[in-house]
Amino acid sequence: MSFAALGLAEPLLQTLAGLAYRTPTPVQQQAIPAVLAGRDLLVAAQTGTGKTAAFALPLLQRLLGETTAVGAGMVRVLVLVPTRELAEQVCASFVRYGAGLPLSCYAAYGGAELGPQMKRLGSGVDVLVATPGRLVDLFTKGAVRFRELRALVLDEADRMLDLGFANDLDILFQALPRQRQTLLFSATFAANVGELAGRRLQKPLRIEATPRNTAAKTVKQWVVPVDKKRKTELFLFMRRDRGWRQVLVFVKTKKGCDELLARLQAKQIAADTIHGDRPQASRQQALEAFRAGAVEVLVATDVAARGIDIDGLPQVVNFDLPLQAEDYVHRIGRTGRAGQAGEAISFVAADEAPLLAAIEALLRKPLSRDEEPGFEPCHHVPPTAPGSPAKARPVAARPGAPARAPRSNWVDEFAGGRKARSAPRKPGNRGR
């Protein structure tokens, strides 16, 4: 199947050829013709599946059919996203896919000054990518109007609801024209997403590009049981021992991020952090440096779990497990993108067993446990899933001992299982 067969216009086909996109991904194959036909969509697609192009390409094409330029203060396509990083990234995708077209795209999010955003919106934009909180602020101040709106995209809808944007979304829906196309994308399908879709979509085409609540099959996932106080030592050891070059490390708190950063920098490791307390510009800088390879270890809170797109990222380490099981899927979605292989390694201390159980229930499979010789925990991590006893390897005398068991810890099949249980959520980045 080619992009041309999906009905895309020549200028877009040329851009795709330039990007060396040869074959549409499954979500693109299903979504592009339906969006071109004007249908509403309800799409379950995890990150890394090519979902951004699945909505950006056909929406750009629909915009090309407009006969007049967008009016002052108006927006034709609105994309709502949960975080600032995702806003920048989705806008960059529109710019990339729409290269050479007479269309404009702008990203507006919290943490940046309102004034310049209001000014830019004054002249109208074809595609506005925004976080809901900031868009409500801009709308309330009269900086943006929706009379010319043709299409709305809710990207990572589950995450927007998780982050407490439901009220802001309600306010925005009141302001949007009823006659519009609505596309809802969500990596995971929680009940509240279904409810939102039921209220806001018109006879949507349902597309399930990936199994529900699963991670990419190309990601090799495993757990390393370890005592909490030895996690840094374990990370340093595994990084050196396995030759990790570029690794994204998730920790639970901003404080934890900064502490780990200090310990890595003390070892002369090129590292940086990305979390909600850092100004937007320095978060963006850290991300760029990581993408370029100048930063080898990027330590992040869940704010970075969504939307970060780094080609060929080989390793994600969960230094701490996420409080919300769904975040595990998003975290590890940073690797194994677009069919590439990746590894997701979770360091689990005894008190994190309930979080591990919630993740395994969500994935409907036990995660393989693989102790690192020399780091066997004194505090045993209790069993979490039936039939997944801790797999202890022969104990080596000290960290760094050469003995290594074969890494036969691929877990690809999904057995039927229990329903997901999630730990209570902490307030996250509202992108306001």
Binding site for ligand AMP (CB under 6 A): 21, 23-25, 28, 47-53, 309, 311, 337-338
Give Cα 231 to chain centroid, integer Å. 25
Nearer to ligand AMP, 156 or 302 (CB): 156
Q: How far is the CB of 363 from ligand AMP (least distance, A)?
A: 20
Nearer to ligand AMP, 31 or 238 (CB): 31
Do the bridges between strand 181-186 and strand 41-44 make them parallel or antiparallel, or are there none, so unpaired? Answer: parallel
Query: 3-class SS at 65?
Result: coil
Q: How far is the CB of 21 from ligand AMP (least distance, A)?
A: 4
Taking CB atoms within 8 Å and a gap of at least 24, the contacts of 286-293 are 287/85, 290/246, 290/248, 293/245, 293/246
> Which residue stretches of 151-223 are H helix?
157-162, 166-175, 191-200
Nearer to ligand AMP, 20 or 378 (CB): 20
**Residues forming a β-bridge with 130:** 80, 108
Sign, CA torsion 320/322/323/325: negative
Nearer to ligand AMP, 39 or 291 (CB): 291
Q: How far is the CB of 91 from ligand AMP (least distance, A)?
A: 13
Nearer to ligand AMP, 42 or 57 (CB): 57
Nearer to ligand AMP, 46 or 104 (CB): 46
Amino acid at 229: K
Nearer to ligand AMP, 16 or 136 (CB): 16
Nearer to ligand AMP, 94 or 375 (CB): 94
Closest residue by Cα to residue 35 from 153, 157, 159: 153
Give Cα 169 to chain centroid, integer Å. 20
Nearer to ligand AMP, 293 or 354 (CB): 293
Q: How far is the CB of 373 from ligand AMP (least distance, A)?
A: 36
Burial of 390 (0-12, 13-18, 19+ CB in 10 A): middle
Amino acid at 270: A
Q: How far is the CB of 84 from ligand AMP (least distance, A)?
A: 16
**Residues forming a β-bridge with 91:** none
Q: How far is the CB of 292 from ligand AMP (least distance, A)?
A: 16
Q: How far is the CB of 23 from ligand AMP (least distance, A)?
A: 6
Give Cα 27 to chain centroid, integer Å. 16
Q: How far is the CB of 28 from ligand AMP (least distance, A)?
A: 6
Residue whose pair of structure tokens reads 């709502």 in the numeric block:
80
Is residue 370 within 8 Å of residue 343, measured between CB atoms? no
Question: Which residues are within 8 A (CB) of 276 and not within 5 positions of it... i.e. 6 or more apart?
Answer: 254, 301, 303, 428, 429
Is residue 411 within 8 Å of residue 368, measured between CB atoms? yes
Q: How far is the CB of 57 from ligand AMP (least distance, A)?
A: 9
Q: How far is the CB of 359 from ligand AMP (least distance, A)?
A: 22
Nearer to ligand AMP, 92 or 353 (CB): 92
Cβ-based neighbour number of residue 65 at 10 Å: 9
Nearer to ligand AMP, 53 or 361 (CB): 53
Q: How far apart are CA 432 and CA 427, in angstroms?
A: 13
**Residues forming a β-bridge with 74:** 145
Q: How far is the CB of 194 from ligand AMP (least distance, A)?
A: 22
| φ, ψ at 351 (rounded to 5°) | -75, -5
Is residue 323 within 8 Å of residue 424, measured between CB atoms? yes
